[in-house]
Amino acid sequence: MADLRTQEIKNPIDVAEYLFKRLHEVGVRSVHGLPGDYNLVALDYIRPAGLHWVGNCNELNAGYASDGYARVKGISAMVTTFGVGELSAVNAIAGAYSEYVPIVHIVGYPTTAAQKNGLLLHHTLGNGDFNVFSKMSTQISCAVSLLNHQHEAATLIDNAIRECILQSRPVYIALPTDMVQKKIDGDRLKTPLDITYPENDPEKEDYVVDVVLKYLQAARNPVILVDACAIRHRALKETHDFIVKSGIPVFVAPMGKGAVNETLPNYGGVYAGDGSNKGVRERVESADLVITIGAIKSDFNTAGFTYRVSQLNTIDFHSYAVKVRYSEYPGVRMNGVLKKVTQKLGKLSIQQGPKPDNEIPNDEIKSPEPTITQAWFWPRLGQWLQPKDIVITETGTANFGIWETRFPDDVIAISQVLWGSIGYATGSCQGAALAAKEMGIKRTILFTGDGSFQLTAQEVSTMLRNKLNPIIFIICNNGYTIERFIHGMEDPYNDVQEWKYKDLPAAFGASKDQYQTYRVESKQQVEELFLDKEFSSGETQKLRFVELVMPWDDAPAALKTTAEAAARRNAEASD
C-alpha cells in the first residue's frame, strides 16, 4: 500500500528496520524472545539488520537471558507478543529495573485500528482496553514508548534506547503490527545516538572534589567499599584508577562482587556487616572513613542490615549524587568526581587490611569426611577460576558461598542479590554465554540450586539450540536449603522432586558430541573434575553439566547470619 508521506522522504525505511538498526548501533547482536502473531512480521527484520534471533523456550526465561546478556554486553533486546508474552516476562523486567540492567523490551501489538476500535481480540482481557499491560510496565520501565504514529516513531525509538542506556534500566516499546512497515526517514541513522553521560557542572564538581579530598587527607585509616552501581552505572574504570592510585584497602559488597580486581594487593574481601569474610568486619568498622562507590544497602547485601558504619564517617558516590557525611550534592555524578579526586590525590595515611586468599579453612582440611561442604567448596572454586571467567550464582547457597571465593582478575560476576528471583541464574546464563561467545570470552560458569534450576530448566535447550557451551553446576542438596534456614528446616514444602538432572541435556535434544555430564559427590571427585583438561578448558566445544552433591542441611556461614536476620524480621510484631 503506497503511503503518500513516504514520497517526501529521501531515504525511506521501515519502522522495524530503523529500530533493529539502532539496536545494532548500540551493540546489540542477538535478540531474545518468542514469536507471536502480533510480532511475526517484525521478526522478519532481525536477520537483515545483522542480528541473531535466539528463540527462547518461554518469555520469563527470555527476560532473564536478556538480563544476563546485558550485564555482559551493556545492553540487550527482547521481543514478546502482546499480553501473554509480555506479562510472562514482567518478573524478569522488574528484576532488571530493580538491579539497573538495560533491556529494550519490544512488544508486538495489535494494529492501531484494532486498538482504536476496541476489538475483542485474543490476548486481551476482553474489555477493549489495550493500555492495561503497558500501564503495568510503566512501574518497571524508565521509558514506555507506544509507537502508534509514524511521524514520531523514530524519535520515540531513539529516546527509549538512550534512556535505557543512560538510566541503565529497562524500556518498553509497543510496536503495533501495522506500524512495522510504515516508512520513516532512514537518514536519521547517519547521526549516531548520543549516549554519553551529561557532564557535571564543573564548578559544582570541583567543589565536591575539594570536600572529598579534605576528608580523605584527614583520614587515618580509610577504606573503600565498592558496590553494584559502580558496575551498572559504568564507573569501573574510575573506580579502578582510584583504588590503584590511592592504595586504600578496598572491599566489595556482595552485589559488587566482580567490580574490583581481586588480585590487587589492597583488595580485602567481601564486607556485609555480620556476614563479612574473615577479618573484614573489624577492618571496615574500625575505619575512620568509609568511601562507598555505587552502594545499594539492601537486606541481603548487608547480611540483614548489620552494617556498623556511621554516616559521620562516610562518603557515598552515586550515579545521581555524592554524599559527604550528611551533606548531599544531588546531580553530581560519581564518574567525574572520582576521576578528579584520583588525579589530585596526595599522600594518604593507609592501614593495611586483610589479604583474602583461596585457602581452605583449617578444619575443612583436617576433616576426614569426603562430603563436599559449602565451607570447602567456595575457596576451592577460587583456585580453579581463570581471568575473564563469567561466574553466575543463583539466589540460595551459591549466592552466599561466592563471598568466600576470591576471583582472578577481570571476572564478571552475575547474580540478583536485591531482586533475588530464583530461576534467574539459568536464564541469565543463556544470555551471558551468548554475549561471551560474541565477545570471545571463553568460560561462562553457572552455579544454581536444584530448587532454583527447576523453575527455568528448559533454557538449557536454548543454550543447545544456540550452540553455547557454558559450564553448569547444579547444587544437589534435596531442596530449598536457603529457605530451610529461614523457616521450616524439615518441612516438606522445602523439598523438591528429585530430578535426574544429568539426563536433561539429552532429553532437550543435545547431540552426543554436544555435551558432557558429570556427578561429583566427594571432594576428591571435585579435585579430579577440576584437573580434567577437557572439563576445564575454555576451548572445549561442549556444554558441561555437573551434579554437585552437597548436604541438605549445610549452608555458607554468611547465609546462616542473613537467614536468621530475615526470620527475625519476618516475625517482628507490628504495633
Ligand X SMILES: Cc1ncc(C[n+]2csc(CCOP(=O)(O)OP(=O)(O)O)c2C)c(N)n1
Q: Select 304 or 479, whichever has its Cβ closest to ligand X.
A: 479
421 binds a copy of itself (CB under 8 A): yes
Give the HSE-up count for residue 551: Cα atoms under 13 Å, Cβ half-sphere. 14
Cell output for 139 = 512501574
Distance CA 207, CA 414 (A): 36
Kindly determine how many residues on this chain lie close enough to bind a copy of itself according to the rule CB under 8 A: 99
Give the number of other Cβ atoms within 10 Å of residue 234's Cβ.
16
167 binds a copy of itself (CB under 8 A): no
Cell 520513516 sits at which residue?
184
422 binds ligand X (CB under 6 A): yes
- Residues across the chain: 575
477 binds ligand X (CB under 6 A): yes
Tell me which of ligand X, Mg ion, a copy of itself, none is bound by residue 242, counting a contact when its beta carbon lies within the kind-specific cut-off of 5 to 8 angstroms. Answer: none
379 binds ligand X (CB under 6 A): no
Quickly list H helices, 130-199: 132-138, 150-167
Distance CA 304, CA 302 (A): 5
CB of 444 to ligand X, least distance (A): 19
Q: Select 308 or 344, whichever has its Cβ closest to a copy of itself.
A: 308
450 binds Mg ion (CB under 5 A): yes
**Ranges within 36-65 binding ligand X (CB under 6 A):** 36, 59
426 binds ligand X (CB under 6 A): no
Q: Select 84 or 213, whichever has its Cβ closest to ligand X.
A: 84
Indicate the pairing of strand 290-293 with strand 314-317: parallel
Residue 136, C-beta contacts closer than 8 angstroms, at least 6 positions apart: 87, 90
Tell me which of ligand X, a copy of itself, Mg ion, none is bound by residue 16, counting a contact when its beta carbon lies within the kind-specific cut-off of 5 to 8 angstroms. Answer: none
- Residue 134 near residue 150 (C-beta atoms within 8 A): no
DSSP symbols for 273-341: TBTPPTTHHHHHHT-S-EEEES----TTTTTTT-----GGGEEEE-SSEEEETTEEEET--HHHHHHHH
Q: Which amino acid is at 515?
A: Y
Site string for Mg ion, 463-502 (x = CB under 5 A): --------------x---x---------------------
Terminal Cα-to-Cα distance of the chain (whole angstroms) = 67
CB of 417 to Mg ion, least distance (A): 18
77 binds a copy of itself (CB under 8 A): no
| CA angle, 567 then 565 then 90, to 5° | 70
Q: How many angstroms from the chain centroid is the CA of residue 110? A: 32
Q: Which amino acid is at 418?
A: L
85 binds ligand X (CB under 6 A): yes
63 marked as part of a ligand binding site: no
Q: Select 30 or 266, whichever has its Cβ closest to a copy of itself.
A: 30
509 marked as part of a ligand binding site: no
450 marked as part of a ligand binding site: yes
184 binds a copy of itself (CB under 8 A): no
112 binds ligand X (CB under 6 A): no
121 binds a copy of itself (CB under 8 A): yes
**Ranges within 290-309 binding a copy of itself (CB under 8 A):** 296-300, 305
CB of 58 to a copy of itself, least distance (A): 4
497 binds a copy of itself (CB under 8 A): yes
Q: Select 332 or 445, whichever has its Cβ closest to ligand X.
A: 445
Cell 499491560 sits at which residue?
133
Distance CA 69, CA 236 (A): 18
39 binds Mg ion (CB under 5 A): no
Q: How many angstroms from the chain centroid is the CA of residue 568? A: 28
Question: Which of 316-324, 377-385, 388-396, 435-443 is the region at the interface with ligand X (rule: CB under 6 A)?
Answer: 388-396
- Residue 230 near residue 236 (C-beta atoms within 8 A): yes
Would you name the residues annotated as active-site residues? 37, 59, 122-123, 420, 450, 477, 479, 483
Q: Select 212 or 425, whichever has its Cβ closest to a copy of itself.
A: 425
The helix/strand/coil state of 7 is helix
**Identified binder of a copy of itself from the candidate list 6, 12, 24, 58, rule CB under 8 A:** 58
The helix/strand/coil state of 517 is strand
Binding residues: 450, 477, 479
List contacts with Mg ion (CB under 5 A).
Answer: 449-451, 477, 481
List contacts with ligand X (CB under 6 A).
Answer: 34-36, 59, 81, 84-85, 88, 394-398, 420-423, 449-452, 475, 477, 479-483
Binding residues for Mg(2+): 450, 477, 479
